[in-house]
Amino acid sequence: MAANGWTDDLLDLMRGTGDPLGDAAIAETYALGQQEQVRQTLLGFGRNSEAVPGGLPPRLRQYFEETAVLPPWADREQMARGQELLGRYQPLIASILLCGSLPSCYTCGNGAEVLVRSQRLTSGVFRRLAETSQFVVDVLKSGGLGPNGSGLRSAQKIRLLHATMRYHVSQLGDWDAARLGVPVNQEDLAGTLLSFSVLIPLGLAKLGVELLPEDRDAYFHIWRVVGHVLGIDERLNPVKFGDGVALKDVILRRQQRPSEAGTVLTKGVLDFIKEVLPVPPGAGPTLIRHLIGDKSADIVKVPPADGVTKLGLSLAALPASAYGRTGDALPPAAELASRLGEVVFEEGLLLTNKGRRREWQVPTGLTDSPS
């Protein structure tokens, strides 16, 4: 028996489960031959308080209507409190996303296989990393999950992206569903969600920034709401932060393994840091190893940490829960991560896109245009 009832039998079942609502909408879109029309219609959808565009296939319109309704347990006061953390810790959150959440996901070999097969990251890694950062900003900014909020709209589009990936990858002749599970299955979706909801608070703590329990729980609640919008099975969308940590550990225990796919994806992150972000050469490997640990970093072949930078990180032993409220000095680890996070937004989100906002697109195939 796994922690909190997350048995191998349950999680094996979840590996064979996709998303009936999203999958039906995408299947109808392709059956009607309207994939390019739908892509164009939704291209700018979500930039502001737009209503659902007209002319969509019936099941796709139904999809948008149903997923726009937040669950009855969504607590807007908690969500507002959690969203305040973006203003307080935005650079650190960006850095943890890049050097903690993504590499941790890539240590899960089966899920990494889907990402490489879909080519959504390997064919345009800089753009996809920028899109993911934009998604976090959309979700965490004030009103992001309100009616027609940009976070809500981005989550709806990402869910359709997942359905599109399932649609195409499942048709590949070399996809071994018995071994790998359904592409973008429920266990992989839950693990990815936890890389945002759990790994970012844990990453802040590793950087010497200990959140108040109330702030941490409010932040976790936001991502639980996002999990509902993304169609994650309620059995894999825990209510409490501690349960989220436990589920994260179970999934990593089951899914972590070396894979060429995971190594390729992690190299994309390291190349992004090295080629786009003006930070010290050893910053990427050092922060990745600090945030996910040497065991996980070795799985995806992260180079050794830079000795000088690592020594500085080792000095970050005291929590800094007041950071962002009183202007106290950052611990060394948080200062390095903050510097990297700032340029993620300045260089990664803006300069690599010529100042334009990144929008998640619903592709017509396993690759799409680089525009």
DSSP notation for 113-176: HHHHHHTTTTTSHHHHHHHHHHHHHHHHSTTTTSTT-HHHHHHHHHHHHHHHHHHHHTT-TT--
Where do we find the tokens 């796709």? 60
Task: Let me know the angle formed at the C-alpha of 142 by 137 and 144, rounded to the nearest 5 degrees.
Answer: 60
Element (H, E) at 249: helix 241-255
User: Which residues have a Cβ under 8 Å from the Cβ of 298 and sit 6 or more positions away?
Assistant: none
What mean pLDDT do residues 290-301 have?
96
Where do we find the tokens 């796994």? 2
3-state secondary structure of 256: strand
Highest mean pLDDT among 84-93, 130-139, 189-198, 314-323: 189-198
pLDDT of residue 328: 41
For residue 67, what pLDDT band results from cuts at 50, 70 and 90?
Answer: very high
On whether the CB atoms of residues 234 and 274 are closer than 8 A, the answer is no
Distance CA 89, CA 324 (A): 7
Distance CA 341, CA 100 (A): 12
What mean pLDDT do residues 327-337 have?
53
Model confidence over 98-121: pLDDT tens digits?
A: 899 999 999 999 999 888 877 655
pLDDT of residue 232: 98
pLDDT of residue 266: 94
Where do we find the tokens 């032993």? 317
Q: Which of 5-9, 129-133, 175-179, 317-321 has the lowest mean pLDDT?
A: 317-321
